[in-house]
Amino acid sequence: MELTLRQKIGQLVLYSLDSNEITPETEAFMREYCIGNVIHFGNNVTDFAGSKKLNAQLRALMLDTCAGIEPFISIDHEGGRVFRFSQDFTWFPSHLTLSAADDEALTEAVGHAMGKELRAAGFNLNFAPVVDVNSNIGNVVIGVRSFGDDPETVARHGAAMARGMQAAGVMACLKHFPGHGDTTLDSHYFLPTVDKSLEELRENELYPYAKIFPQGAVDSIMTTHILFPQIEKENVPATMSPAILKGILRDELKFNGVVVTDGMQMLAIKDHYGVANGCVMAIRAGANLLCIGTGGSGVQAVQKECLDRLYEAALSGELPMACIDEAVAYVLKAKEKFGGPYEDAVIDAENHAVINQAVCAKAVTCLAPGGMTGKALYASAPVKELAFGLTHADPRKLTFGQMANMHTGDSFAYLDKLDEAGEYDTLVIGMQAVKEDSIELIAAKEALAKGKNVAIVLLGAPYNAHLLPEGCAVVCCYSLTLEAVAAAIDVLRGKTAPQGKLPVKLA
User: CA torsion 231→237→240→241, rounded to 10°?
Assistant: 0
What secondary structure does DSSP assign to 421-483, as a single string?
S---SEEEEEESS--TT-HHHHHHHHHHHTT-EEEEEE-S--TTGGGSPTT-EEEE----SHH
Q: What is the pLDDT of residues 115-145, one digit of tens each?
A: 999 999 999 999 999 999 999 999 989 999 9
Q: Are residue 152 and residue 92 in the same domain, yes or no?
A: yes
Q: How do residues 409-459 score in pLDDT, each as one tens digit?
A: 999 999 999 988 889 999 999 999 999 989 999 999 999 999 999 999 999
Considering the domain architecture, whether residues 185 and 38 belong to the same structural domain is answered as: yes
**139 and 246 in a common domain:** yes
- The CATH number linked to 477 is 3.40.50
3-state secondary structure of 149: coil
Query: Does the pLDDT at position 38 exceed 50?
Result: yes
d(CA 264, CA 145): 21
Per-residue pLDDT band for 35 (boundaries 50, 70, 90) equals very high
Task: Give the up-direction half-sphere exposure of residue 323: CA atoms within 13 A in the CB hemisphere.
Answer: 24
Domain boundaries, position 99: 10-338
Q: What are phi and psi of 401, to 5 degrees?
A: -60, -40
Task: Find out whether 312 and 306 touch, Cβ atoms under 8 Å.
Answer: no
Q: Does 188 participate in catalysis according to the annotation?
A: yes
Query: pLDDT tens digits, residue range 193-205?
Result: 999 999 999 999 9
pLDDT recorded at residue 190: 92
Q: Is 18 a catalytic residue?
A: no
Distances (CA, A) of 429 to 124, 208, 375, 408, 480: 39, 35, 14, 15, 13
Same domain, 370 and 334: no
Number of domains in the chain: 2
- Domain assignment present for residue 355? The answer is no
90 and 150 within one domain: yes
* Same domain for 111 and 250: yes
- Residue 344 domain flag: no
Q: What confidence tier does 98 reach under pLDDT thresholds 50, 70, 90?
A: very high
Domain end call among 338, 354, 378: 338
- Verify that 414 and 314 share a domain, yes or no: no
Domain boundary among the residues 270, 304, 338 is at: 338
Residues 32 and 101 in one domain: yes
267 lies in the same domain as 333: yes
In the chain, % of residues over pLDDT 90: 86
Say if 5 falls within a structural domain: no
**Alpha helix segments (H runs only) across 213-274:** 242, 267-270
DSSP state of 265: T
> Is 429 within a domain?
yes
Smallest CA-to-CA distance from 250 within 285, 226, 279, 277 is with: 285
Rounded distance between C-alpha atoms, residue 121 and residue 259, angstroms: 24
Predicted confidence (pLDDT) at residue 183 exceeds the cutoff of 90: yes
Q: What is the CATH number of the domain that holds 23?
A: 3.20.20.300
Q: Give the helix/strand (H/E) hosting 220.
A: strand 220-223
Is 295 strand, coil or helix?
coil
- Is 199 part of a structural domain of the chain? yes
Exactly one of 262, 394, 407, 490 is catalytic; which is it? 262
Question: Residues 310, 399: one domain?
Answer: no
Given 47, 188, 392, 410, the catalytic residue = 188
Q: For residue 35, is it within any domain? A: yes
Domain boundary, last residue among 338, 373, 404: 338
Quick check: is 318 in a domain? yes
Pair 389, 326 in one domain: no
Residues 255 and 135 in one domain: yes
In a domain, 357, yes or no: no
CA distances from 262 to 222, 416, 420 (A): 6, 39, 46
Is the pLDDT at 385 greater than 70? The verdict is no
